[in-house]
């Protein structure tokens, strides 16, 4: 799995960044300057995205988690703040199930604990065998992006994700959609462990696909808080980057301060 590091001259603290489905590590271009001022950065491309090849015959969630842990071990990163967007938040939860000590805190942007029924229907339709044989795989992706990010103020994030998603192979697209539909239980499994990792959820008030379910999960979790950014869609790190960055950095600093005084 491809990775890149951006090191700080004095800080020993790390942030690991997890992008969403169809994107790659470049979607954090509005975070890097702010985050690098305080932290070392580890950027990842999930399997089949960006510069990472698509691995055949693996559980994509398990594989992504194992690869991330292996990279952190290689770089001698004992624990780090995890910041993820959309699909990236699921991979973070998978790592928490396997090695919670690797995670100092989580910032979950546009968290995806569960699709609404109509969203799940759209995803299932896009991988329905007859349709996936006839349609180019980017047709359903573009439709889903338009449904997920319908408003004018969502256009920058919608365009960014569609542009990057055009680099996905059909195999990668189908693999990740099927993996999500067949095993969409990561949030529930982690919730069942009663983990105490500090979590900050950041969602847009216009994230009509995921916000209501995210609110329910936050209520049921220990050590979790939710910040809702008004007039903002699903990809809040792009659409309202200044607010997202301020919230994320303030939260990580609070966690760092508590860990030093504990």
Collapsing DSSP to helix, strand or coil, 202 comes out as: strand
- Kindly calculate the radius of gyration of the chain based on its CA atoms and give it in whole angstroms: 17
Q: Please give the C-alpha separations between residue 239 and each of 38, 83, 206, 244, in angstroms, as whole numbers.
A: 22, 16, 11, 9
Closest CA to 41 of 70, 65, 11: 11
With a CB cutoff of 8 Å and minimum separation 6, the contacts of 255 are 81, 104, 105, 198
pLDDT confidence of residue 90: 93
> Measured between alpha carbons, how far is 38 from 130 in angstroms, rounded to an integer?
50
CA 249, distance to chain mean position in Å, is 17
Domain 3-115+184-261, second-level architecture: 3-Layer(aba) Sandwich (3.40)
- Per-residue pLDDT tens for 209-227? 999 999 998 998 889 999 9
Average pLDDT, stretch 99-117?
Answer: 91
Q: What is the DSSP letter of 149?
A: S
Closest CA to 115 of 54, 186, 40, 168: 186
pLDDT confidence of residue 65: 97
Residue ranges per structural domain of the chain: 3-115+184-261
> Measured between alpha carbons, how far is 143 from 122 in angstroms, rounded to an integer?
9
Q: What is the pTM of this model?
A: 0.91
pLDDT confidence of residue 125: 67
> Measured between alpha carbons, how far is 105 from 20 in angstroms, rounded to an integer?
18
Q: Indicate the pLDDT class of residue 145, thresholds 50, 70 and 90.
A: confident
* Tokens coding 247: 């919230």
- Per-residue pLDDT tens for 18-29? 999 989 999 999
CA dihedral 103, 106, 110, 114 (to 10 degrees): 60
Collapsing DSSP to helix, strand or coil, 144 comes out as: helix
- Per-residue pLDDT tens for 86-102? 999 999 999 999 999 99
Q: Indicate the pLDDT class of residue 138, thresholds 50, 70 and 90.
A: confident
Q: Please give the C-alpha separations between residue 34 and each of 19, 28, 72, 186, 248, in angstroms, as whole numbers.
A: 17, 11, 22, 30, 10
């Amino acid at each position: 799995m491809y990775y890149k590091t951006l090191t700080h001259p004095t800080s020993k603290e790390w942030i690991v960044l997890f992008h969403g489905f169809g994107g790659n590590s470049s979607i954090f271009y509005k975070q890097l300057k702010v985050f690098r001022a305080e932290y070392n950065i580890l950027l990842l491309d999930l399997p089949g995205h960006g510069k990472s090849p698509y691995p055949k015959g693996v559980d994509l969630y398990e594989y992504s988690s194992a690869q991330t842990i292996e990279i952190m071990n290689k770089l001698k990163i004992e624990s780090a703040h995890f910041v993820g967007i959309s699909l990236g938040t699921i991979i973070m939860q998978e790592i928490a199930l396997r090695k919670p000590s690797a995670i100092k805190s989580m910032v979950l942007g546009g968290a995806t604990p569960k699709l609404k029924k109509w969203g799940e229907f759209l995803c299932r339709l896009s991988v329905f065998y007859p349709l996936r044989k006839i349609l180019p795989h980017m047709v359903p992706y573009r439709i889903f992006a338009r449904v997920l990010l319908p408003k004018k103020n969502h256009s920058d994030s919608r365009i960014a994700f569609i542009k990057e998603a055009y680099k996905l192979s059909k195999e990668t697209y189908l693999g990740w959609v099927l993996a999500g539909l067949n095993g969409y239980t990561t949030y529930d499994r982690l919730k069942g462990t009663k983990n105490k990792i500090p979590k900050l959820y950041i969602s847009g008030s216009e994230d009509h696909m995921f916000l209501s379910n995210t609110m329910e999960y936050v209520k049921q979790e220990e050590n979790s808080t939710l910040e809702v950014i008004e007039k903002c869609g699903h990809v809040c790190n792009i659409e309202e980057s200044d607010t997202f960055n301020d919230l994320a950095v303030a939260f990580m600093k609070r966690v760092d301060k508590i860990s030093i005084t504990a």
